[in-house]
Amino acid sequence: MQVFKFGGASVKDASGVKNMASVLQEVGYANTLIIVSAMGKTTNALEVVIKNYFEDKSQLPGSLEEVKKFHTTILLDLFKNENHPALKKVAVLFDELKTFFITNKSPNYNFVYDQVIGFGELVSTTIISEYLNAIDIKNNWIDVRTQIKTDDFYRRANVNWEETQNLINSKFDKTILNITQGFLGSDSNNFTTTLGREGSDYTAAIYAYCLNAEAVTIWKDVPGVLNADPRYFEHTELLNKISYREAIELAFYGASVIHPKTLQPLQGKEIPLYVKSFINPKAPGTRIGKNVTLEPMVPCFIVKKNQILISLSSLDFSYIVEENISHIFNLLHQYKMKVDVIQNSAISFSVCVDNIFNNIDKLLLHLKAKFKVTCEENVSLYTIRHYNENAIRQIEEGKTVLLKQLTQQTVQVVTK
């Protein structure tokens, strides 16, 4: 059993869908489960739809129609027939989405977000499943929400592993090619939940763990895991092999090629993870597994943009020790801040956070009741694994360094 995951870039248009089919034909698809993300920038487009629902309902129909039009263009490019059943199935999904907006009574943004955003994956997998069937790659379409069960922490749900394992074992048919959605699950009331942005990789790992898969392959538009994001760094290098531990470190610090939650379940059963190119599917790519060392041993660069650096100091010059630190972290948890780096001294505490849930103003107001607070927005956090002086100089050149922290293997630098 093998698990393949195809991201949005790999199926961003009709050519991408056809290329995905070619990859399957070239590398084989026996005993395979395919996890697919939303097509292209659909998730971003649906976020605009959600924003309009809450802030400007007059724009809602138009923004929703744009999403439908995008997928209709792909459908007509693939099937050349307006009466093909695939178009009707997709139309039903969009009607279901419109009905949700009419009938929804919940003012909870995170709940609405999860009910809406998942239609990107439902539509993409419907289109791809129908296309594969049309070219005689017979497959079974699965609604992932019937198999992956979670709590109701909308937008970052936690998996109920026991229930998920039981459902997958009882419902999964290994005799046929299966296709399902990444990113999604459902709670005990069968409302849609999501596993966090880029959670499709995590979906692949969940299924691999539950099915005791031989391997997981993530198909990307890059040759494998690179030592830096080519959008921000020149002269990147392919990492041929990475240990689970090293990959988890890279994921934790924000390497975008791997979702942070993906590696733990794979490591638990020693399931290797391959990152390969859907442009050159026979190339070896990157292998992540047990008992391997980083190859080649080079500095690995990670950058996270649009971060917020919060600096705190006590109002009465008292020490910031256990009691204060506990209070700060309780607030960071309460306002759902993703903490990326911390640094403290006797009377000061700095933290770089990712304001995922847009709660920064509430957090700052709460902190100001007890601390002197300064806040620097739109900063960049650079992390270098296996750094050297030249690597540090490369990221600091021409920037203002606001915070710098070094350990034996890792340096983190916050810049403006």
Enter the DSSP assignment of 136: T
CA angle 96, 101, 102 (to 5 degrees): 95
Cα separation, 6 vs 218, in Å, equals 6
**Strand 371-385 relative to strand 300-314: parallel, antiparallel, unpaired?**
antiparallel
The DSSP string of 144-207 is GGGT-BB-S-TTSPPB-HHHHHHHHHHH--TTSEEEEESSEEE-TT--EEE--TTTHHHHHHHH
Residue whose C-alpha is closest to residue 43's, from 253, 199, 191, 252 = 199
118 contacts: CB under 8 Å, gap ≥ 6? 145, 181, 183, 184, 192, 194
Helix (H) or strand (E) holding 307: strand 300-314
Enter the DSSP assignment of 238. B
Instruction: Convert 252-275 to b/e letters by CB count within 10 Å (16 or more is b).
Output: ebbbebbbbbbbebbbeeebbbbb
Q: How far apart, in whole angstroms, are the C-alpha atoms of residue 332 and residue 341?
A: 13
Cβ(351)–Cβ(342) below 8 Å: yes
- Say if residue 231 carries a ligand binding annotation: yes
What are the structure tokens assigned to 384, written together?
């270098």
Q: How many Cα atoms occupy the beta-carbon half-sphere of 262 within 13 Å?
A: 36
Q: Residues forming the annotated binding site for ATP?
A: 231
Q: Residues forming the annotated binding site?
A: 231
